[in-house]
Chain A
C-alpha cells in the first residue's frame, strides 16, 4: 500500500510537510514499513487539489483525504494496517457533475430575462469583435443603411420603451422632438452619472458591455440627425471609463463611429466627459451645464433640452440602460420588445438588488414581475431568519415599500401609487433590524449634502429636515416634530426647481406614512424598537434574559464587557463606544 502526501509549495504552507513527517514516523514506530510506503509528491507532480490541503492519496484504493492533520497520523496508519476505511469523514467526495444546476434552473438566474444584460459576463468587453459576434452593431447598420430617421423613431414608438433613468418618459417622444428641432448642430448625450446609493446597474452595463451603449447612441444620432455625442460618466467609475474609451477607439477603428460610418456618409463623433461625482449632475440640465464647463446646477424648464440643451443646441439625453436597449429593438423590432411587460411599461427592467437579502446582484425581469418574486425568489429572501421590513426603491428620490405592497408589479405607475418611484433601479432590502428613522436620516443626510444650493427650500429645508430627524434619533424629539416634517416637506416639494429638490423629502414622507408608529416610539416613548439609535439605548444587560453565552463579550471591539461562564455579562457604560456590536450579537435580546 502506498500513501502519497501532496507536498508542493501551497500544501507546505498549510502544514503538509509536518503531516508527511508525522506519517513517516508513525509507520516506523508501528513497524509497518514493509506494508505501507509513505512518499511525498512535490511541486512538479502536484495534482492541484489546493483547497483540500494538507491532503494525500492512498493507493491502490485511489481515495483522496483532505484536511489531514498531524494528530490524524496514528489513527490513519492503524486503520490502513487493519485494512479498515480510515478517516471516513475526510474522504474527498465531490458532488456529481449532474448535481450542478443548469443556470436557468437556479433560483437566481431562472426567473430572469436577459435582454439588456444579454452579453453580461459572456463577452470580453474590451473586444469589439466579440460584441459583433453577438449580433453587435447590426442595429446600427440597419438604422444607418436601411432605415429613414422616421422609421427608427416609429420602431422605438412601437416598442413603447420608456426612459430607464427613473422618470419613465417615453423615449420616442423625446427623439421625435429632437428630430424635429431645427439646428445644424444637435447632440446625443448619455447620462452615466449613476449616483443613487445602492444603484450599480449602469456601471455593470458600461463595464461588461460598453458597445451596446455606443450602438444605442449611434442609432439615436441617426434618428435625430446628430453628429456629436457625449457620454457623461462619473469619474468614480474608472473601469467603466476605461472600457468605454477602449470601445470608442475600437469602433472608430472599424469605421462604426466617426466619419462616414459604414460607408454611408453619416458622421457621428463620440466623447466621454468625466463628471466629478455630484449627485445633482444626474439631473439633465445640470449635467449639460457640467459638460459646458459651468457649475452643475439645474435650470428651469422650458425650454426643454430637445429645443435648447447642451450649448443651447437641441439635445437628446437618455440614460445608459435606455441606450443599451435600443440595438435589439432595431434588430428584433419594436413589436417584439413590447411583447413583454404591462400595459404601460414594456420590456424588461434591470435592478440592483442589495441590502438584507441572500442573493445580491443585478436582476433583469420583465416589467410586471412582482417585488415579492424579485426579493424572495430571485433574491432568496432575508438571511439569518429575520423578517422582511421594507424595500427602498429609487434611491434618495424614492420611497420605502412595506410588506403589504410586495405583490405590486414592477411598473412605473403601480410603483408611484405605492408612494415610491421606479427610479433608476436601486433596490435596497431592509430587514426588521432596520430603524426607519435612521434610514430617513441617512437619506436626508445624503440629500442635504448633495443639494446644489440654488433653491433655498432645498438647500435650507433639507438641512432643517435633517436637524429634526437628528433630534428624534437622539431622543429630543417633540410630538409637533412629525407635523413639522410633513409641512416642511410639502414646502420643499412645491417650491424646488428640479426633480432632486422636489423629491428630496420622499424618503422621509414614505417612511412616515408606512412606519409612523416607529417615529412615535422614538418621540413619545423615547425608544428605538429596532435598537439602532444609540442615544435611545441603555447599554445594560438584563440578567433575566441573559443566557450567559458570552457572545457580546467576545465580539466587543472596545473590550468593555465583563463576563464569566455561567454569569450574566455586564457593560462598562463609561468606556462603551456605543458601536451596537453587542446588540447585533446577542441572540436573546438581553441588552436593553
Chain B
C-alpha cells in the first residue's frame, strides 16, 4: 500500500529506497536485473518471445535471484529486440537482435555464470549515461 507523500522528505525517502533497489549493484533482494526493451518497436521485432523465454528460464532455476523488467525503447530500434543485463559488480551489457535462443544463451551463460556473450552484445553501459563524455556536456562546464 502506498502512503501519500505530504512533503519533500517523503519523496526523498522513496528516492533513497528506490535507487538502492533498482540496481543490482546495491539491491538487497536480487543479484541480477534483466531488462527486455519492450516498446512498440521492440514488440514488433519479437521482444515478447524473448520475454517469454526469459521468464521460463528464471523460473527453472534457483541459483541467482533475478529481477525481470519490461522497459521502454533504448533508442536504437534497428537493433531490437534489445536486452540489458546488469549483474552485481560487473559492467552492464546491452544485447541486440535477440531471439528466444539468444536469450536462453545469455541467461544461462551471462546471468547465471557471469560469462558475457560478447558476440551478441551491442554496447557496455555506464549508469551515468552518455552525457558524461558528451562534448556538449563539457561545453556547459559540468
Q: Please tell me which stretch of A199-207, A481-489, A567-575 contacts chain B, meaning at least 4 of its Cβ atoms lie within 8 angstroms of it.
A: A199-207
Query: Contacts A48-B108, A124-B69, A208-B73 given: A114-B129 contact, CB under 8 Å?
Result: yes
Kindly report which residue of chain B lies nearest to residue A259, judged by CB atoms.
B4
Say whether B46 faces chain A, with CB atoms less than 8 Å apart.
Answer: no
Beyond A46-B108, A254-B2, is A103–B40 a contact (Cβ under 8 Å)? no
Contact between chains at A108 and B105 (CB < 8 Å): no
Decide if A126 is an interface residue (CB 8 Å cutoff): yes
Task: Give the distance to chain A from B30, nearest Cβ to Cβ, in Å.
Answer: 13
Contacting residue for B40 out of A100, A117, A203, A254, CB 8 A? A203
A99 & B118 in contact (Cβ 8 Å cutoff) = yes
Alpha-carbon separation in the docked complex, A363 to B8 (Å): 34
Q: Which residues of B contact A134 (CB under 8 A)?
A: 19
Q: Could you name 21 residue pairs across A and B whose Cβ atoms are closer than 8 Å?
A: A50-B102, A95-B118, A100-B124, A102-B123, A103-B123, A104-B130, A105-B123, A109-B75, A113-B131, A113-B136, A113-B137, A121-B72, A132-B15, A133-B19, A134-B19, A203-B40, A239-B40, A263-B7, A339-B140, A340-B136, A361-B78
Inter-chain contact A262/B123, CB cutoff 8 Å:
no
Q: Could you mark each residue 96-124 of chain B with 1 if its beta carbon is under 8 Å from any beta carbon of chain A, else 0?
A: 00000110110111001000111111111
- Flag if B40 contacts A207 (CB, 8 Å): yes
Q: Which of A19-27, A31-39, A137-145, A581-589 is the interface stretch?
A: A137-145
CA distance A123 to B72 in the complex (A): 8
**CB of B18, distance to nearest CB on chain A (Å):** 4
Q: Is A303 an interface residue (CB 8 A)?
A: no
Chain A residue numbers with a CB within 8 Å of B40 are 200, 203, 207, 237, 239
Q: Judge if A311 is at the interface, Cβ distance under 8 Å.
A: no
Q: How many residues of B contact A (CB 8 A)?
A: 67
A254 touches B134 (CB 8 A): no
Contact (Cβ within 8 A) B18 A120: no
Q: Does B85 contact A (CB under 8 A)?
A: no
B109 engages A49 (CB within 8 Å): yes
Chain B's nearest CB lies how many Å from the CB of A234?
12
**Would you list which residues of chain B between 12 and 29 have a CB under 8 Å from chain A?**
14-15, 17-19, 21-22
Is A112 within 8 A of B15, CB to CB?
A: no
Q: A100-B93, A104-B132, A104-B133 are in contact. Are A117 and B124 (CB under 8 A)?
A: no
Q: Does B6 contact A (CB under 8 A)?
A: yes
Residues of A within 8 A of B134 (CB): 104, 111-113
Closest chain A CB from B110 CB (angstroms): 9
B41 at the interface (CB under 8 A from A): yes
Residues of B within 8 A of A255 (CB): 4-6
Interface string of A352-367 (1 = CB under 8 A from B): 0010001111111010
Given A121, A130, A250, which contacts B74 in the complex, CB threshold below 8 Å?
A: A121
Cβ contacts under 8 Å, B116 to chain A: 97, 100
Question: Do A117 and B101 touch across chains, with their CB atoms under 8 A apart?
Answer: no
Closest Cβ of chain B to A248, distance in Å, is 13
CB neighbours of A126 from chain B (8 A): 70
Q: Using a CB-CB cutoff of 8 Å, which residues 168-224 of chain A contact chain B?
A: 200, 203-204, 207-209
**Which residues of chain A from 144 to 158 have any CB-CB distance to chain B below 8 Å in the complex?**
145
CB distance from A146 to the nearest CB of B (A): 9
Q: Is A101 an interface residue (CB 8 A)?
A: yes
- In the complex formed, the residue of A with least CB distance to B95 is A100
Provide the bound-state CA to CA distance between A48 and B114, in Å: 13
Q: How far is the CB of B28 from chain A (nearest CB, A)?
A: 15
Inter-chain contacts of A250 with B (CB < 8 A): 2
* CB neighbours of A95 from chain B (8 A): 118-119
Residues of A within 8 Å of B17, CB to CB, are 129
Q: Which residue on A lies nearest to B2, using beta carbons?
A: A253
Find A101's partner among B2, B75, B123 (CB 8 Å cutoff): B123
Given A100-B93, A361-B75, the answer on whether A118 and B129 have CB atoms closer than 8 Å is yes
Return chain A residues, CB-CB under 8 Å to B74: 120-121
Assess whether B6 is in contact with A262, with CB atoms less than 8 Å apart.
Answer: yes
Q: For residue A336, which residues in chain B have a CB less than 8 angstroms away from its CB?
A: 140
B78 / chain A contacts, CB cutoff of 8 Å: 358-361
Measured CA separation A360–B94 after assembly (Å)? 17
Q: How far in angstroms is the closest Cβ of chain B from A293?
A: 28
CB distance from A56 to the nearest CB of B (A): 16
Q: When chains A and B are docked, how far (Å) is the Cα of A361 from the Cα of B75? A: 5
| A362:B75 contact, CB within 8 angstroms | yes
Q: Is B11 an interface residue (CB 8 A)?
A: yes
